[in-house]
Amino acid sequence: MARNKYLHIIIGLLLAGAGLYIFFRGDDAVLETLASEMAGTSAVSVAVCAALAIFSMWLRAVRLGIMLPDEPPPADGKPAPAAGGRPPRSKRGLFAITTVSYMINNILPARLGEAARVFLMWKRNGFPVTVCIGALILERALDTLAYLSFIFIPIWLSPQIAASLRALNPAAPAVVWLAFAAFAAVAGMFALYALVPRLFRAAARRAAKLLPPKAGAAAGKIGEELESGLDWIFSPRKAVAVITLTWATAMCYAVMLPILIADWSAFGPLEAIFGQAFAAFGSAIPLAPGAVGTLHAVLLQGLAMMGVEVGKARAVVVLYHGLQYAVITLAGLMLLAGMGVKIKDITQKSEP
């Protein structure tokens, strides 16, 4: 296990280094240009982007609270403690847990913050591990839907962005249709489950019967806990809230780009969401701590493709990533201190 840990660290550092090399190459005066462009950014823009970074964490926490299953009220009015001496289920403190998990992702490789979030929700909020993992998977699926839509919507609505994409590679529009197909497939699965959940349950029961009796019973319990994380989909009010919060969270990041570029006439809303798609998929590359390097290289290409001058684009990328990194890391460390928990304690207990 220790060998795998060090291997993840080495691979993560290599990915970060490769991304930063791609980001900085090709300009002998890159640091001077970068410093000059960053110095021209207004303090108001920096403050607004910092606030958006924190606001996005709050939106994620609110969405998580809606998606987590509600605990049925006990008959005697007193919640029973969870198994293993853990506290009864509670949705309190989700903002702190969400921010701490992203803080850990920023400073450690292999997305250990995801495992840390599961551990904290299990230990502090009393939710079963399977429910925590299920909620995490569903959140990532919803985020992916938002960012897939950020690819094809601008292309379909903006001839200029579509022309830039074709100029980059004549085969690139096919990627847009693949993004739409993936979006339709995932969204269709959510819709089908909401309409006919019995089909999914019947398939799960048939699969459980193929296992030995004990394993099948355990798989059935796990399946029930995972499914409980989808209870929100049967409530139109909750479903609309989850979808709205997902888009609002993604838009927090997208709005940062035109704020930092400071040219809404040339880089408007459609360019912003298309650029954010590059940032999202660059940060989705695993192992690199805090998406350092990978996000920089991918987002730079996206901004340059949309006509942002390379020197300006580099400064925007550094500020876009650096502000989120610094604000969320600082907030996460402060909230972690308030929990009375150390990073070492979380990572040791949540590592696979």
**Single-letter residue type at 20:** L
Q: Where are the domains of the chain?
A: 2-69+89-350
For Cα atoms 148, 263, 274, give the angle at the middle one, nearest 5 degrees: 10
Please list, in sequence order, all residues whose beta carbon lies within 8 angstroms of the beta carbon of residue 291, skipping any fewer than 6 positions away.
Answer: 282, 283, 285, 321
pLDDT score for 12: 66
pLDDT score for 229: 78
Phi, psi of 268 (to 5 degrees): -100, -160
352 to each of 2, 111, 124, 153, 212, how far by Cα in Å? 11, 12, 19, 38, 25
306 to each of 163, 268, 293, 300, how far by Cα in Å? 10, 11, 20, 10
Task: Note whether 328 and 253 are within 8 A (CB).
Answer: no
pLDDT score for 113: 84
Low pLDDT (below 70) residues in the chain: 1-9, 11-13, 19-21, 26-31, 33, 37, 71-86, 110, 208, 215-222, 224-225, 286-289, 345-352
Q: Whole-angstrom Cα distance, residue 311 to residue 166? A: 23
- Max distance between CA atoms of the chain, in angstroms, equals 72
What is the reported pTM? 0.85
**DSSP state letter for 231:** G
